[in-house]
């Protein structure tokens, strides 16, 4: 499949004053769902450039969510829940739309928390800056967290955690932290630093 760029003839159904707070690629590989800070969700079918307004509900994630075929769900992290991972089963989207955004098909992980930051808890010696979640295939994920080790903004550390997800025999979502849980001191940290470049 070759990549190509083109300009959509239909404008997005949201204004320039709205911010996209979460997004996910549908399992069909061509439809992108995105939710805005105005509590609305929209989709773009990239095969024909058609936008749809899906109503007054939002994806239950912060940032990007990833579809995992084995789990048959999107995986991401919720906006205000410390340390846990959240799943949304795409087949429940129509049910969510009919019921005004009810939490059908949403599951939060049980067991070990994958984030070092839990709720409002701060990292030792400093403050939490940002985190990214990356899908690695086969229900495995990489979490990279950037935190200050002291009050000096240049004294930062990256925490890298590899973890897996699976359904427990009772149907609960379980996390498994792998041994490859490491921390790396950063030689230079600025407000423009992107830790995504760290693992590229």
Q: pLDDT (tens digit, 9 = 90+) per residue, 33-80?
A: 999 999 899 999 999 889 999 888 888 888 899 988 888 888 887 766
Whole-model pTM: value is 0.73
Any idea how long the chain is? 200
| DSSP states of 131-200 | EEEEEEETTEEEEEEEEESSSSTT-EEEEEEEEEEEE-TTS-EEEEEEEEEEEEE-S---TT--GGGGG-
pLDDT per position as a tens digit, 133-156: 888 888 888 888 777 776 666 677
Contact 44, 51 (CB under 8 A): yes
Whole-angstrom distance, CA of residue 38 vs CA of residue 48: 26
Residue 92 pLDDT more than 60? no
Closest CA to 77 of 90, 93, 65, 69: 65
The pLDDT assigned to 96 comes to 47
Q: What are phi and psi of 192, to 5 degrees?
A: -90, 0
């Amino acid at each position: 499949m070759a990549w190509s760029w083109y300009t959509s003839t239909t404008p997005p159904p949201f204004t320039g004053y709205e911010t996209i707070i979460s997004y996910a690629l549908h399992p069909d590989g061509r439809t992108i769902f995105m939710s805005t800070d105005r509590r609305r969700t929209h989709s773009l079918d990239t095969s024909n450039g058609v936008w749809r307004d899906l109503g007054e509900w939002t994806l239950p994630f912060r940032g990007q969510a990833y579809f995992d075929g084995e789990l048959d769900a999107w995986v991401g992290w919720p906006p205000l829940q410390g340390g846990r991972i959240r799943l949304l089963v795409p087949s429940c989207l129509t049910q969510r739309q009919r019921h005004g955004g009810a939490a059908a098909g949403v599951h939060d992980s049980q067991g070990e928390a994958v984030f070092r930051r839990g709720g409002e808890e701060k990292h030792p010696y400093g403050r939490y800056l940002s985190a990214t979640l990356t899908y690695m295939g086969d229900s495995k994920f990489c979490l990279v967290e950037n935190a200050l080790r002291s009050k000096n903004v240049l004294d930062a550390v990256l925490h890298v955690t590899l973890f897996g997800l699976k359904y427990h025999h009772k149907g609960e979502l379980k996390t498994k932290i792998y041994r490859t849980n490491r921390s790396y001191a950063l030689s230079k940290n600025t407000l423009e630093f992107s830790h995504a470049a760290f693992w590229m």
